[in-house]
């Protein structure tokens, strides 16, 4: 597979998109464009201003920010204006403000522009809710990854239990159903399966099986 593909993976909450996207990227030697890390990068740069965090402050760092993700030696490095912030963006302080950052339209517009710029190099995998429909409508490979609500809730429950969180399976199922509804009905870039995306239902599949299917889909291009 000589051609460096651009791969877009969309799907609802809890479908395991980021887990399988990272593993498939590693297998292919591609850059996994972690969109969450990009929003964290904006949050990190905002905190570097050492001022009270307001929407105005966040928007003020956006015009000149350059976020780049590079894959080498089996890992992805996150660079902000040339500085490696791969570890710095994972602090509780950054986590605390990242939702506020990601909700702002100027931030989203800038991140989409940067994601498209990175995709031009080829050899990238992106996952999210609107990658094939909005961010990269011309992607070479489009996959819509889903699973039953029950299966997604059970996966999330197992993850949270391992981290010591106490939530019932029923609560998680209701939470995922509510997120699906919100994601599909939101005005800006709702979650949709585009016509030319391959539907991949992961209910009952192991992570390894899902990664294999993604690699098979990529190899057919």
Interval 96-111: pLDDT, tens: 898 889 889 999 999 9
Q: What is the DSSP string of the chain?
A: --S--EEEEE--TTS-HHHHHHHHHHHHT-EEE-HHHHHHHHHHHHHTT-S---HHHHHHHTTT--EEEEEETTEEEEEETTEE-TTGGGSHHHHHHHHHHHT-HHHHHHHHHHHHHHHTTS-EEEEESSIIIII-TT-SEEEEEE--HHHHHHHHHHHHHHTT----HHHHHHHHHHHHHHHHH-SSS-----TTSEEEE-TT--HHHHHHHHHHHHHT-
Query: Is pLDDT of 2 > 70?
Result: no
- 1 band by pLDDT with thresholds 50, 70 and 90: very low
In this structure, the chain runs to a length of 221
- Residue extent(s) of CATH 3.40.50.300 domains in the chain: 7-30+124-221, 33-121
pLDDT tens-place string over residues 144-194: 999 999 999 998 888 888 888 888 899 889 988 988 888 888 877 788 999
pTM equals: 0.84
pLDDT, tens only, 128-149: 888 999 999 999 999 999 999 9
Q: Per CATH, which fold does 33-121 belong to?
A: Rossmann fold (3.40.50)
pLDDT for 169: 92
CATH architecture of 7-30+124-221: 3-Layer(aba) Sandwich (3.40)
State the average pLDDT for the chain: 92
Report which listed range, 30-34, 43-47, 160-164, 173-177, is most confident. 43-47
Instruction: List, for residues 56-101, the tens digit of each pLDDT value.
Output: 999 999 999 999 998 888 788 999 999 999 999 989 899 889 888 9
Task: Give yes or no for a contact between 133 and 183, defined as CB atoms under 8 angstroms apart.
Answer: no
The pLDDT score that the predictor gives to residue 167 is: 82
Distance (Å, whole) CA 111 – CA 65: 10
CA pair distance 116, 124, nearest whole angstrom: 10
Q: What's the confidence (pLDDT) of residue 36?
A: 85
At residue 194, what are phi and psi to the nearest 5 degrees?
-70, 155
Alpha-carbon distance of 116 to 135, in angstroms, equals 7
User: What is the reported pLDDT for 180?
Assistant: 87
List CB contacts of 114: < 8 A, sequence separation 6 or more: 38, 66, 67, 68
Taking the C-alpha atoms of residue 197 and residue 143, their distance in angstroms, rounded to an integer, is 5
């Amino acid at each position: 597979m000589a051609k460096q593909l651009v791969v877009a993976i969309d799907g609802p909450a809890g479908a395991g998109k980021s887990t399988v996207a990272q593993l498939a990227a590693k297998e292919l030697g591609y850059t996994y464009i972690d969109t969450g890390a990009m929003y964290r990068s904006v949050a990190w740069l905002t905190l570097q201003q050492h001022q009270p965090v307001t929407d105005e402050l966040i928007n003020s760092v956006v015009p000149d920010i350059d976020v780049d993700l590079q894959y080498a030696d089996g890992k992805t490095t996150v660079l902000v204006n040339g500085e490696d912030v791969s570890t710095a963006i994972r602090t509780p302080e950054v986590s605390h403000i990242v939702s506020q950052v990601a909700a702002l339209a100027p931030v989203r517009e800038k991140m989409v522009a940067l994601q498209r710029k990175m995709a031009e190099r080829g050899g990238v995998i992106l996952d999210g809710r609107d990658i094939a429909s909005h961010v990269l409508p011309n992607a070479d490979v489009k996959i819509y990854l889903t699973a039953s609500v029950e299966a997604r809730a059970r996966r999330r429950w197992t993850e949270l239990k391992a981290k010591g969180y106490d939530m019932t399976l029923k609560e998680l199922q209701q939470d995922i159903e509510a997120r699906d509804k919100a994601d599909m009905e939101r005005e800006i870039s709702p979650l949709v399966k585009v016509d030319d995306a391959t539907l991949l239902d992961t209910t009952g599949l192991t992570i390894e099986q899902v990664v294999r299917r993604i690699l098979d889909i990529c190899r057919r291009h």
